[in-house]
Chain A
Amino acid sequence: MVQTVIMPKLGQTVEESTILKWHKREGEPVKKGEILFEIETDKAVLEIESFFEGTLLKIVVAEGQTVPVSVPVAFIGQPGDKIPEVKPVKRVAPAADTTPAHVAVPPAPALRSALAKEGPSSHLRPSGFGGQAVVSPPPPVRKAISPRARRLIRECVISADPIPGTGPGGRVVEKDVQAYLEAKNYAELKITPAAKNLARANGIDILAVPRVASQARITVATIQQAIAEKPVTMSKMRQVIAQRLTASFTTTPHFYVTVAVDMTDLLEWRKILKNENKPFTVTDFILKAVALALVEFPALNSSTDGRATRWHSRVHLGMAVSIAEGLVVPVIRNAHELSIAELHELAAGLALKARDGKLTPDEMTGSTFTVSNMGMLDVDNFTAIINPGESAILAVASTRPTPVVRDGKIEIRAIMKITLASDHRLVDGACAARFVNRIKSMLEDLELWKSMI
């Protein structure tokens, strides 16, 4: 019996996913639980295991294709089984509800091939990457080029785009290419045969290659440099990060309040705890303090659309984790109800899953407040961008031995700066100041922690 493999729905908000890689080929046997394919949602890359046993009869959705959830992607059965007909799946438009600022995201392979064709001289110059999250190229205008002209263009390894056509309907004919080559002094270029081959294989326009001096020979090294400078399409995950952060930063009025927290006593005590086999991290204490403070300050655990405010009765703490492909924010649900030991366990587990790329989309949505800890990255202080849908984010910097004045004397203490970025529509300065100072006073209050552990 033929089983239909469908694109799984891996989260409340996931409407479509892209197949990155098939781990099995058509005709290969598949066991239950074996990894069948890899998908990329707008939040993560995930490996999908097979629910069925048999032979992979047909792959319907190829690598690189994006399809809505629940549509068939492959069939598994016994060799010779009749495969049901499937209509070619049309890609859905990006789901508008998950992306506040709607930006047309072209399917990655299409964009990549467009770039490969056009090279660095095209409209997609690096400067075009500023501003909007993603620049979608205009649909490629198919230029009319005569076969002889096309052959000459290919031989010379140049781009057809800037060549003006004088043939009927603006068609580029051979003499247009010749005139263009002459105008550009092509004959004076010195290019090594290997460099020419390399440029051709990588769609590099020889005339657009940057050189040290105009007389310099174009070598393999010159072309390799040009290849390295070609625009590279961002991963889907990176595009979504770009889009969401841009939307937040440009539409949310951010303001910042910084306080210096004296961590000396807590760090001393943490050492003692560690020797007692209770290895709490600085992050654990910060998460607990934040969760407690958020219960006291409802404005900081709210969201707004600009007209109404909405308080969230539960604290779901987002925890920014840096991974190789970018940044993910796993969520600790109901953090206000958790003991510090539970927080420790959950945070460690989520961070590990994040680094292994095993977070599910549901584990990455629904946070009401976010903590970004760059303490291990040796920074004095920094500000963070509020996650869309939240009212604030806490940026935690490195703890450093710092001279401070205590009781009129200068002492060296372990000082950690924390900076709260707040949405001024929801939070006023005084409220933000009280909130960060509340966190500070908790972190400096050793008796509080001793009562909890």
Chain B
Amino acid sequence: MEKYDLIVIGAGPGGYPAAIRAAQLGASVAIVEKEALGGTCLNWGCIPTKTLIASAVLYWHMRHAQALGVSVEKVLFDYAAMIQHKNQVVAKLRGGIAQLLKANGVTVFEGMAAFMTRNRLTIQRNGKESVALEAARIIIAAGSSAVLPAFLPKAASVVESRAFLDLPRLPARLIVLGGGVIGCELACMAAQLGAQVTIVEILDDILVMLDADLRTEARRYMENQLKIRILTGKPLEQIKAGAQGVKGQVAGEGIEAELLLAAVGRQPVTEQLALDKAGLKPNAKGYIEVNAVGQTPSAGIYAIGDVNGGPQLAHAATAQGLLAAEHAVKPRLTLRAQVVPSCIFTAPEIAVVGLSEQDAKQQNRAVKTGKFHFAALGKAVASGETTGFVKWIVDADTDQLLGAAAIGAHATELIATAVTAVQAELTAAEFARTIQAHPTLSEAWMEAAHAVHGQCIHAPPRRKHVERKA
């Protein structure tokens, strides 16, 4: 029985930072990983998708370079080479994590962890028990995996996101089931590389967590520029799949493709953990419920990231992991404001932080908004990236910046300014007084802050409106 101060189950973006932070604070730490350091984010999520998207975006830009006076002849892409590049990127970053863990004195165990008691774990490798571990504190960071619903036929032509990232070649025609973040990102990537893509979403729109104006803008670009067919409000029925392709019906119309990507949600990975031995019981949706610092009802056990049912975002898991690790090593109440940005790497990119307009309406809050379109911004016009806008959501009474959204080129980088402003509880008036460098895309935030008070310089005046749900 090896003893540690803290054991972390899962070395994803929540688990490995937690292990490192605990080690930094002087604890003896072990981390258990069943598959690959870096978890979903690094191996089958954020990083590989963004690598492929980077290739796809570059290809798209080269094919559309004529507008900026550059002509490139015979632009080609080699999907297998793109996958190989992706694999190199992932391997490099994975090696980095191994080094960091080693440098901080964290012991890595490969295998599947299962609880024996509240503070003991057994680690199984290749079906054999290799070692038993004990610790006063355990952080569960087991993550989530993509759901393949039972109604989908089991065939080579039906994949979830993880398998999609290792395809030897890009299908010429693709059906994406599910218009959420993952589905839309991969749909845009495939479409930019020239695939014929159809998104089928049973809800009334794609990306429903976003405000309507963002959805409209994204959908318009995806349909008109990327030529993606988007079918919403109806299910995909009578799905038939074989080795060669997949067929289905949406509202009576037959659609077919070489491949179907199922992106209908993710489920927490808890099955093999033997949670009952630790006195834990997942809730109805399978998540482990926790308090504000990540503590489960079982003393000494924490759960962070996707397993606890919070936002399924790598950076949310990291923040929770650090907080839980600090609390586990030096228990004291260190609550932090949870301003969590969210980035979507579609074309155009979308990023949001804080309160959305539709949330505000649901909470019956009086808000004002200030919006600025890139089409009116010098730098955006100069670089031919005029799609999209930025928007502030502002408390009508106190002028507080409650939230922000950006859609367009580089939106996922632009959101950083807004994250700082929302976390610092700045007011629109305060932000409007900052000076943003010209000519940059960041100027849009300043102009949008001016727009909140109807004082935008580079947009015609519009009538101020305060919305409050009746």
Contacts and interface: CB of A to CB of B under 8 A. Distances in A.
A194 interface: yes
Q: Pick from B395, B397, B427 the residue with the most CB of A within 10 Å.
A: B427
Q: Pick from B397, B398, B399, B427 the residue with the most CB of A within 10 Å.
A: B398
Interface in A169-203: 192-195, 197-198, 201
B400 A198 contact: yes
A219 B425 contact: yes
B243 interface: no
A220 interface: yes
B425 A220 contact: yes
A194 B337 contact: no
Q: Pick from A197, A220, A221 the residue with the most CB of B within 10 Å.
A: A197
B337 A197 contact: no
Q: Is the interface of A mostly helix, strand, loop or mixed?
A: helix
Interface in B379-422: 395, 397-401
A219 B426 contact: no
A327 B49 CA distance: 63
Contacts of A198: 397-398, 400
A307 B424 CA distance: 69
- Give the interface size bracket for B toward A: 10 to 19
A195 B397 contact: no
B211 interface: no
- Give the interface size bracket for A toward B: 10 to 19
B430 interface: yes
A221 B424 CA distance: 12
A194 B395 contact: yes
Nearest to B400: A194
Contacts of B399: 194, 197
Nearest to A198: B398
Interface string B107-125: 0000000000000000000
A425 B395 CA distance: 61
A193 B426 contact: yes
A195 B398 CA distance: 8
Nearest to B394: A194
A330 to B, nearest CB: 35
Given A219-B337, A219-B425, A220-B425, A194 B397 contact: no
A391 B402 CA distance: 59
A194 B337 CA distance: 15
A193 B397 contact: no
B425 A201 contact: no
Nearest to B426: A193
Contacts of B401: 194
Contacts of B425: 192-195, 219-220
Given A193-B430, A219-B337, A201 B424 contact: no
Contacts of B400: 193-194, 197-198, 220
B400 to A, nearest CB: 3
Interface string A255-271: 00000000000000000
A442 to B, nearest CB: 51
A201 to B, nearest CB: 6
A18 B401 CA distance: 40
A220 B429 CA distance: 16
A192 B427 CA distance: 9
Nearest to A197: B398
Contacts of A220: 398, 400, 425
Nearest to B401: A194
A287 B425 CA distance: 59
A193 B337 contact: no
B76 to A, nearest CB: 52
Contacts of A219: 337, 425
A307 B395 CA distance: 63
Contacts of B395: 194
A192 B397 CA distance: 15
Interface of B: 337, 395, 397-401, 424-427, 429-430
Closest 6 CB pairs between A and B? A194-B400, A192-B425, A194-B425, A197-B398, A193-B427, A198-B398
6 contacts: A194-B399, A194-B401, A197-B400, A201-B398, A219-B425, A221-B337
Given A194-B427, A197-B398, A197-B399, 7 more contacts: A192-B425, A193-B427, A194-B401, A197-B400, A198-B398, A198-B400, A219-B337
